[in-house]
A and B are shown apart, each in its own frame.
Chain A
């Protein structure tokens, strides 16, 4: 446990040092919300603004993309040699990927929380049921971070994991209506959109915010839990410490 804490701390420092990741986790979601909110202003009225919609959906999008950060933190060129040293150190080799998950989770979650607070104060985004929303987003964050590490464990190279992730995430995002609302486009599209986990997150958050309806909350949380456990199990099965030798 202590090993995990120590390694996670170093990983966290490493994440904070790279300006690209800070940009990606903090500035990029804000830019997305500002641009899309501005563009979509015409299709919303004064009561519910476009920022109310995009402020929520794009934070979910940012949460999904944090898998790319964790994939980077796991197998970046500069982190390979430290990883190799951990294998030879006494203790459990599983801390290599666990620490990456923990540190990226803390890093991205703090960044996104900061984004949320900033956006809510600037644009007065309507938000309710804050503890539930934070719990939901936190679990989603843990899942997507784990997913990034899982792809790394499966494909063994970081660049491939990253590129595949970026396409998968964008597909999920478009189908889930994160980049623009999908529900109005007829029955078939609506059915397809429910295949995307992003859609469930959006649906749950909006029904909590606007209707105080928690009926979607517990199923989504349970689904996320199962997904997180599955991701961890797959990581455990596919991770071989020999892959870290370079």
Chain B
């Protein structure tokens, strides 16, 4: 089942279109990367999902149902601009935020205490948020996002402000939540995160969706059929299976060549041809990184 489906969602502001006919499918129990440059419309989409604003047209389905007020408790949202009540104590704050999501006071108290113990920050319970460091406050905010056991978790730049140790802790929690059956939407610019964690991605550029699919599919679509070969002894003859793009001398007689496969040939064919010409030490396919795909799409978009 789809955790979330957006159907032809459009949102206009007076001077510009924030989302232009965006349709998305976010499969259940996956980590979904929502990518796009600044101002592309990601935050608008997230706000629509959170029912902070309404779409002008189009529809959002959450677990197959039309999005409505009762779904608020099923969604956990960590906005990019973090913020908590500064004067409120950590414990009270967590309980209050969970109660607003629909938990009873007792449930909220039990769950926030459990999370506090899990993150080993029990002695923060009675501290005011203004007395915590930025990283500490972020942890508290992460707890408030997931505490009410939402089925859909939306994390906007979740790792900004965390040191590597805490980032790892959060990553572990995110994966554990996925194991438990949560669907997670990641909105981020950090492509290594996408590379590591996301199963599916979608990209929004200039208020339009420009890309959607599983990470494998996307990479498959954007690969250039290029291969990097390291070999002893140079060669210069192209075959009908490949085209030699460049060759450079690494040291002594070692060379590195970049080849582009032609037409319907297979990598095996190229290797077979190469072994006739030189001594092959390695043969690696050049898979585009998410970062390259991102830059490619955004720049390509701006040329239009």
A binds B: no
B-side interface residues toward A, CB under 8 Å? Answer: none
A-side interface residues toward B, CB under 8 Å? Answer: none
